[in-house]
Structure 1
């Protein structure tokens, strides 16, 4: 029913505190000995409440765990992420009232992916759907750029997006491909109904074969001279238009 990635090391203050706040199991935490601050205190308090071991170590030891990245003196070892499979998508859709989904069509950059997941979580997206091929690995970089939002999201990895979009269409979910240059302004759309937004990678955008299966196309009105927004910013704009409409 569900797939699991190999366990990994999470680094950075906010990703670690969000990992502790989530339903995932954290095995242990490393804190640099000289580290101080509000978030550090939060990490220690939550870790204590969940009986997670905290080790005070030299910064160099954390550097060995995290590699050549900015770890902020904090790292944690987590149990594997739970990744849902396409087999349970139908039942998931039945359990969620008025679903709000986000599909990433081969978004490969981990920083873009992390930024998108951060916006998705805070805007109330019910699930993220990723294709198995051509997507960023859900690793420590994605966890850090998502500010830990990764640990609070339902995430599906599927062999082919085509079958997923057909399933969504068959379940009455509006599948809207975010496409620059079309005349279908997002301000003219009804996002209060069951919805899946499909976002493509930088440059190529949503693939033509995927867009052809979608029940609608969505564009962000543009008033300047540059060609388009980047993927994470464009996604944020559309997701918050959905939030705006659903809050009216």
Structure 2
């Protein structure tokens, strides 16, 4: 007897500490029932405290990885994470336009939770012009959404509305705006902007330092659920539930001296 799983591709960057990037993507996709494969765009030296080095891979190596995956595996969904620069963004956009995967989730990674700049400022225009129009859904956090729109980062729920309006004007089919940075709020809200409507998904806020890789994990889980056939709203709700439980279980971990990871395999 043969069985198959939805094949989910992560195009992103490594995290040598294992909590974010490609490593987190593979864990999240596997934990949510998909088959994870990867295209590495860059290699980082990082841990729970900081990013100390970033090495962008040569363009021909990135393209070879993309061609190897798409020429053999029936990819059900793609998650794009940190790409690092405009050249890589344009290369990945060219490949996605050529191969046309059924679902595309773009996590516009620009700044780490520790404040490290992960996307060159001049690459933001390439991201907006080339990748966002291809995406089924993008998943910015508040600082990333502010960078994409030119608005200030909201400091409270009362300042969210202008940002939502500006995000709705972007050239993408849907936006999942992540509100986890509103640390003073008792709940952790995310907003799905789709077809002219706004739906809020919120959960009780878990007080923990172990939040390294939460954005990567959420977007990968979302891609995994979309690739397995869930409609967008149900996929968002499922991904939100998954990351909530992963953060809760992660409170019991002690990995590293800084922001530790979530527990991707809490259901074992």
TM-score category, normalised to shorter length: 0.3 to 0.5
Which structure is larger by alpha-carbon Rg, 1 or 2? 1
The TM-score with structure 2 as length reference comes to 0.32
